[in-house]
Structure 1
Amino acid sequence: MKFKAVRVFEEEGRFIPRIIERSMEDLPAGDVVIRVAYSSLNYKDALSCTGNRGVTREYPHTPGIDASGVVVESTDSQIQVGEEVIVTGYDLGMNTDGGFGEYIRVPASWVVRKPEGISLKEAMIYGTAGFTAALSVYELVEVVKPEAGPVLVIGAAGGVGSHSVKFLVKLGYEVVGVVGSEAEREFVLSLGARDTISREEADDKSGKPMLKQLWAGVVDTVGGNPLSIGIRSTKYGGVVTTCGNVAGGGIPEMNVYPFILRGVRLIGIDSVKCPVGKRVDVWKRLSDSWKGENLDRGVLEVGIEEILEKVKKMLNSELVGRVLLKH
């Protein structure tokens, strides 16, 4: 059987993505074959399309680090044909052909049964970005309560950031988002944030080891200097989660004082190898108590013929909100 897929080829040192027809026999080894209903566009997918060896080592390759769909073949007794399932993380879309194809074959251990409270489309509106955001909020709300004060979301208009804003607002937190443009500001305010600040307003070049205590908690999605400033301006006993590095892998001007004098906690978020128990628990919360209204606000649904154009826009920082791929 033939199916459509995005395939990135390496040709004379250039990486060229194309939409091609593939055969089921071309899929990698695995226990479960899934007919993909939806995937979503993430920054890792865009990097994979450009030949980034930190994401994908070998080409040709099909990106798509998340997928939801229906099981069509299974050699695992715990996963039945016809079940609706979700796959995020692990090696999907990195070095294992991913959700930008109409079918995927994966190990059974990667597969999560979709909770009843959400549809296949809603699962990918969350996708890897929503799941990562949920992990961030999951860690923060264990310690920081709404009455403790505002929570800062750095990179609030992006995929992880916008979901984080939605979850925190749903749970009763006062949210302030860091944004890069007026369009981003309007978008983040529409999600329920109390206020936004620009990247310039959030910046600090004083080099002080600690800054004024402003935030009960911080959800950081970019790393680098914004993360450093977030840590140094977190209130006593606050929590900072971090899950990205688009602003840099280092933490400039950082020191131990926020941790030993204010008791600030820094928690790293890994959605790739998240333990299955926590994975199932978080998806359950996303399907019921954390699920907000207007889940599709800020979501653009496209077909496979349009996804490569959106990849270019993401790489040029021209996307606001989420892009959903429907097969």
Structure 2
Amino acid sequence: MFKALLVEKNDDGKTQASVQDIDESALPEGDVLVNVEYSTVNYKDGLCIGPGGGLVRNYPHIPGIDFAGTVDTSDDPRYKPGDKVVLTGWRVGEAHWGGYGQKARVKADWLVPLPAGLDTRSAMAVGTAGFTAMLAVMALEDHGLTPEKGEVLVTGAAGGVGSVATAILAHLGYQVAGVTGRPEQGEYLTQLGASRVVAREELNETTKRPLEAETWAGCVDAVGGAMLARVLGQMKYGASVSAVGLAGGAGLPATVIPFLLRGVNLLGIDSVMQPYDNRLRAWERIASDLPMDKLEAMIVPATLADLPKLGADILQGQVRGRVVVNVADA
């Protein structure tokens, strides 16, 4: 038996989540059984803990779209008992039982060896949000971004993806402008390395002008919607935007003018189905380029019992930084 956060659906269609004892035999099929030590809380987790958001296929369900832990048993020669591993994506925690349980059985192809320099707790301080942030930074660099080219914008900077992106970029020598709608988070962003804080109100209004002054050498955008449309018109010639989220909406009320007249690049960042080799590359870059003291400053500790409230909070934009869930100590 092991403890897990189990989400059940009532006859009236409503869901409820509670910590329960689960028999190991109930776990889904997979090649590797992992003793989960830590997980975290992402926006998708909030949906899966609560209303489901169309992500959960069957109930009862154990959410948790990422986890880190130690291999218990393995039918795959790539992993042996005692190996430290990390998992993000692959619809784990959505279509497949996830990391909010002390044990998880998954396909070996979904796992990545924990890189040197990270333990399981710090890996989940990174989690899907930090992994996505690293992918976004790598994409900008692959398209020519260097610190000498100018200031880099991070929207939704106080959130999970934005926090890690800000810390990584600052560590790499970039001047970072962090956008937030929460003025009280200014000091937090400065501590992460932001050179200045931009109020959300300065960017979330649409403009009739398809182009504005060339301002940003790059951008990690977690907001989408009208803010992304506005930012596209402010990018420098040939600059790129990594699009990682839609906190401000899925629509894009923009024109093609920034692409045609300034050669701006809009780069889509997907972390769920990312190929294995690029996963390894991203985790190795995280271990080398994310300062651990900055990562520690982002951490909010939690337990399985805290998850129902945290799931609701993240859907309302009320979670700052990176929640680290101590699953093993439930």
What is the CA–CA distance in structure 2 between the aligned matches of 1:321 and 1:41, rounded to whole Å? 10
Number of aligned pairs? 325
The Cα shift of 1:70 comes to: 0.2
What is the CA–CA distance in structure 2 between the aligned matches of 1:139 and 1:164, rounded to whole Å? 12
Q: Which has the higher contact order (CA 8 A, sep 6+)?
A: 2
Quick check: 1:135–1:269 contact (8 Å CA) kept in 2?
yes
Report runs of 4+ in structure 1 exceeding 4 Å deviation: none
Q: Does the C-alpha gap of structure 1 residues 245 and 54 become closer, same or farther in structure 2, counting only changes over 3 Å?
A: farther
Give the aligned partner of residue 169 of structure 1: 170
The equivalences for 1:231-310 within 5 A come to 231-252=232-253, 254-310=254-310
Quick check: 2:50–2:311 contact (8 Å CA) kept in 1?
no
Give the aligned partner of residue 97 of structure 2: 97
The Cα shift of 1:298 comes to: 2.1
Structure 1 window deviating more from structure 2 (292-301 vs 193-202): it is 292-301
Q: For structure 1, which runs of at least 5 residues remain unmatched after alignment? A: none
**TM-score w.r.t. length of structure 1:** 0.96
Equivalent pairs: percent with the same residue? 39
The Cα shift of 1:279 comes to: 0.4
The Cα shift of 1:246 comes to: 2.0
What is the CA–CA distance in structure 1 between the aligned matches of 2:169 and 2:40, rounded to whole Å? 22
What is the CA–CA distance in structure 2 between the aligned matches of 1:288 and 1:298, rounded to whole Å? 18
Q: For structure 2, which runs of at least 5 residues remain unmatched after alignment? A: none
The Cα shift of 1:183 comes to: 1.9
Structure 1 window deviating more from structure 2 (180-189 vs 3-12): it is 180-189
The Cα shift of 1:317 comes to: 2.3
What is the CA–CA distance in structure 2 between the aligned matches of 1:261 and 1:162, rounded to whole Å? 32
Quick check: 1:285–1:291 contact (8 Å CA) kept in 2?
no
The equivalences for 1:51-62 within 5 A come to 51-62=51-62
Give the aligned partner of residue 214 of structure 2: 213
What is the CA–CA distance in structure 2 between the aligned matches of 1:256 and 1:294, rounded to whole Å? 38
Structure 1 window deviating more from structure 2 (93-102 vs 47-56): it is 47-56
1:46 aligns with 2:84: no
The Cα shift of 1:50 comes to: 1.8
Give the aligned partner of residue 9 of structure 1: 8
Residue by residue over 1:28-70, the C-alpha shift from the partner in whole angstroms, topping out at 9 and shown as x without a partner, is: 0000010001000001000111223432122221110000000
Residue aligned with 1:205, SS? coil
The Cα shift of 1:292 comes to: 4.3
The Cα shift of 1:309 comes to: 2.2
The equivalences for 1:156-235 within 5 A come to 156-235=157-236
Residue aligned with 2:72, SS? strand
What is the CA–CA distance in structure 1 between the aligned matches of 2:194 and 2:80, rounded to whole Å? 41
The equivalences for 1:50-129 within 5 A come to 50-129=50-129
What is the CA–CA distance in structure 1 between the aligned matches of 2:218 and 2:233, rounded to whole Å? 11
What is the CA–CA distance in structure 2 between the aligned matches of 1:49 and 1:299, rounded to whole Å? 21
Q: Match of 2:305, as an amino acid? A: E
**TM-score w.r.t. length of structure 2:** 0.96
What is the CA–CA distance in structure 2 between the aligned matches of 1:144 and 1:227, rounded to whole Å? 19
Structure 1 window deviating more from structure 2 (224-233 vs 180-189): it is 180-189
Structure 1 window deviating more from structure 2 (76-85 vs 204-213): it is 204-213
